[in-house]
Amino acid sequence: MALPRETVIAGFNQDHAAFSALVRSLSDDEWRTPSRCDGWTVADVAAHVTGGITDVVTGKLEGLGTPEVTQREVEERKGRSPEEIADELDTSLKLGADMLASFDDAAWDGPVPVPGLPGTLGDGVEALWYDAYLHADDIRASIGRPTERTTGLDASVSHVAFFLNDGGWGPATLALDGMREYEIGGGGQRISGDPHQFVLVATGRADPSSFGLDESVNIYR
């Protein structure tokens, strides 16, 4: 279950606005820098995040989140500048804000409108928030800027917990520093430590042995 609706909407808006500002701040050299996302430059990461929001607000939901659609989002934006990508994102976010305001409680708690994806509409919006936060961190890590611990980190832990539980991982209890606790598979072994590092581990970006875990914790495995 996603974080509270008001928290998700506010965080979605704030972290996407921050993502746009980050993209606008990038130099040409930074734009071309390889990222920690395999095979992608910083520009490709920004294109994916922007393309995902544009796909949602224009109703292109089939296959959203799959490798094929993700790569299409990148390829469609090849050669664009940081300003062009940020301008597209800002335009799509305005449409997204209107869309979010139109959802009533029944819609928010109803199924996510993407074929094949589990969870509610609220979980889906939280997933987009997580995507913006984590990919902003990918960009910062690639160009040597420090991690920013916004409420997007809460969304990331919540999102990871949802998919670990949905994938049958555990049983375990996520008791990460400064975060609410999440019971996975009914709860069990307590996993503590830095939440940002755990998100990197659970998304294949860091070594799981740092938490005494194996590769099965990677939600993308």
Domain count, the chain: 2
Q: Locate 8 and state its tokens.
A: 């998700």
Domain stop point among 104, 135, 150: 150
Ramachandran class of 56: left when φ > 0, alpha when ψ lies in -120 to 50, beta otherwise: alpha
Residues 45, 15: one domain? yes
Tokens coding 63:
């296959």
Q: pLDDT tens digits for 169-194?
A: 999 999 999 999 999 999 999 999 99
Are 113 and 197 within one domain?
no
Q: Which domain holds residue 169?
A: 153-217
Q: CA 167, CA 192: separation in Å to the nearest integer?
A: 20
pTM for this model (two decimals): 0.96
| Residues 212 and 134 placed together within one structural domain of the fold | no
pLDDT above 70 as % of the chain: 100
CATH of the domain at 171: 3.30.1050
Q: Is the pLDDT of residue 113 over 70?
A: yes
pLDDT for residue 31 is more than 80: yes
